[in-house]
Amino acid sequence: MSNPVSSIRNLGPAMEAACARAGITSADALRALGADVAYGKLIASGMRSHFIGYYVLVMGLQGRPWNDCQGAEKQALRQRFDALKAAQKPAGAPDSGIERILDEIGVVEAARR
């Protein structure tokens, strides 16, 4: 029997349910996909994207505490996250100014994500 997604450090029942909706049903499947592909699948399945959720996933897959991500590493992950999010956004769907700013600081995210 395979391990549940929630057996990965930092990931709990909510992420496990989101993964199941995206067709990712085990920790092994999640590890095989990797953070970027898995997060793209999560967004495509309707999960709202959020930078904190993304880097928690990355840190968990590396076996690190969620708050271990800092400095240049966090900035690099933000660039990866932004690219993933942009790849899932419908072409020509602009961000409103306030949504973009709030998303950049991690307060809220646009409803269409």
CA 4 to chain centre: 18
10 pLDDT higher than 50: yes
pLDDT in the model for residue 102: 72
Closest CA to 54 of 106, 89, 101: 106
Q: Which helix (H) or strand (E) holds 67?
A: none
Confidence of residue 113 (pLDDT cuts 50, 70, 90): very low
pLDDT, tens only, 82-109: 999 888 865 455 556 666 677 677 665 4
5-104 in CATH: which number?
1.10.150.20
pLDDT, tens only, 16-68: 999 999 999 999 999 999 999 999 999 999 898 899 999 999 999 999 999 99
Distance CA(28)–CA(33), nearest Å, equals 9
pLDDT in the model for residue 97: 66
